[in-house]
Amino acid sequence: MSLFDLRLQELHNKLHAKEITVSDLVDESYKRIAAVDGKVKAFLTLDEENARTSAKALDEQSGSLEKGLLYGLPIGIKDNIVTEGLRTTCASQFLSNYNPIYDATVVTKLKSAQTVTIGKLNMDEFAMGGSNENSGFHATHNPWNLDYVPGGSSGGSAAAVAAGEVYFSLGSDTGGSIRQPAAYCGIVGMKPTYGLVSRFGLVAFASSLDQIGPLTKNVEDSAYLLQAITGHDAMDSTSLNADIPDYVSALTGDVKGLRIAVPKEYLGQGIDPKVKDAVLTALKVLEGQGAIVEEVSLPHSEYAVATYYLLASSEASSNLARFDGVRYGVRSENPKNLLDLYIKSRSEGFGDEVKRRIMLGTYALSSGYYDAYYLKAQKVRTLIKQDFEQVFENYDVIIGPTAPTPAFRMGSQTDNPLTMYLNDILTIPVNLAGIPAISVPCGFADGLPIGLQIIGKALDESTVLRVAHAYEQQTDHNKQRPQL
């Protein structure tokens, strides 16, 4: 049995009693990576020398340290979250030589909690994709079936946790990029309220949608990790100055009388029958615990994908303008002039999906089209947000599938971007509204995991976690592990 199969409290007790050391945990992580990452390919960069040095320092100082629950635990960081002195590429050839000179706020917070960073995790290039096949280096494979995708863009973050390579990881979620890979890989993925977790040091894709969040083996771990990374940050102008509750204390297991809304649009056309059956079974479990389940409508959901890809691509075209071959990153050799430097550096550095979104976004923002596309999309975004607000006047949470299908076979959708985009149809509305949601395992279809999505009111992560934990306690889906 792996040390990583132990619950967080059990590991903490063993560390406190000196039955194991932080070095033991780091050894466990690198041994597992050596054994399975040649197949999974979750990591882009390992930080073994620094990780072992940090582990040794924590062990030597353990008597004088106040050990929080995250003390000494190995963590993986998605490669669009900057880490001082540790290569951060966003899985793009453009940043293949970029070594940041500062840490993202979430990384600083994790260091304060005395976690140990094992390395940087693979992703779709600049977080643009839903399968991890858009990485500029290599594709990550699903630990449950290596012929299938792990989801994206945080596919490496999800696969590493599912494969037991790290205890937990951080990802980023712009349109479902934490929750969808969590569903595909059979783990827990949390997207917090927009602004609850600082984005300082997160390489921007779409600034009004991006949010960092935890990927863990269970809901309790998600609550602990979320607690460690939340809080106001003066370095992020969108950071919320809100009171942070004790998320762990919300895990009471009690959902009696709680009102659950089930949007008919989330279980309609395009949802795999096995996914629908798993979600309906999960709802019966919650009903059996005393929750009230009723059908509702989110009428503007059908416009979410179009709205998202206009807004996200527009923001991406603006954010990625900084990558010009002049200031940092890879520079094209022997350009004829400055314009040629821009053109060649961007043409050589960016992959096809990134180029596609830059072109779409630039078009939507251009003179004569701004009002017709970008401005209209902003108005529809408001309607989608209002749909959620109206439902939350009468209900505590909204529940449905995380993704319309289980993971799909690698290469099966790479030639059809529209089909790939539609995989995010159930997660995108949450980002447009800026509200929290979590994905928890709720079953399997043909050996591949299925995710249940629980959506909550803004800043009500406590209720989302409470419902997820109550459901998890009645099932054993999260305890199953892929056999690699």
pLDDT value of residue 420: 78
Number of compact structural domains in the chain: 1
- The answer to the question of residue 370 being in a domain is no
- The answer to the question of residue 23 being in a domain is yes
With H, G, I as helix, E, B as strand and everything else as coil, classify residue 97: coil
**Bridging pattern class, strands 43-46 and 211-216:** unpaired
How high is the mean pLDDT of the chain?
Answer: 95
Name 382's Cβ contacts closer than 8 Å, sequence gap at least 6: none
Judged against a pLDDT cut of 90, whether residue 414 lies above it is answered with no
- The answer to the question of residue 387 being in a domain is no
Q: How far is CA 47 from the centre of its chain?
A: 21
Please give the share of the chain, as a percent, with pLDDT higher than 70: 99
CATH number of residue 79's parent domain? 3.90.1300.10
Check if the beta carbon of residue 103 is closer than 8 Å to that of residue 198. no
Annotated catalytic residue 64 = no
Q: How far is CA 79 from the centre of its chain?
A: 12
- The answer to the question of residue 81 being in a domain is yes
d(CA 305, CA 180): 15
d(CA 261, CA 253): 19
Active-site option among 41, 78, 191, 217: 78
d(CA 144, CA 150): 9
| Mean pLDDT, rounded, for 413-436 | 88
Annotated catalytic residue 78 = yes
- The answer to the question of residue 319 being in a domain is no
Two tokens, residue 161: 């946790």
With H, G, I as helix, E, B as strand and everything else as coil, classify residue 283: helix
Please tell me the pTM assigned to this model: 0.96
Residue range(s) defining the domain that contains residue 103: 3-257+396-479
- The answer to the question of residue 344 being in a domain is no
Q: Which H/E stretch holds residue 219?
A: helix 219-229
Judged against a pLDDT cut of 60, whether residue 440 lies above it is answered with yes
Active-site option among 29, 92, 153, 462: 153
Two tokens, residue 282: 């999960």
Check if the beta carbon of residue 303 is closer than 8 Å to that of residue 384. yes
Annotated catalytic residue 172 = no
Banded pLDDT at 63 (limits 50, 70, 90): low
Strands of the 211-216 sheet, one edge to the other: 43-46, 116-121, 74-78, 168-173, 211-216, 188-191, 437-445, 448-456, 397-401, 259-263, 292-296
With H, G, I as helix, E, B as strand and everything else as coil, classify residue 461: helix
| Mean pLDDT, rounded, for 344-355 | 95
User: How do residues 317-328 score in pLDDT, each as one tens digit?
Assistant: 999 999 999 988
Banded pLDDT at 68 (limits 50, 70, 90): confident
List the single range of 1-15, 219-233, 298-312, 467-481 with lowest mean pLDDT. 1-15
- The answer to the question of residue 292 being in a domain is no
| Mean pLDDT, rounded, for 182-186 | 98
d(CA 224, CA 80): 22
Active-site option among 54, 131, 172, 177: 177
- The answer to the question of residue 301 being in a domain is no
pLDDT value of residue 327: 85
d(CA 91, CA 176): 18
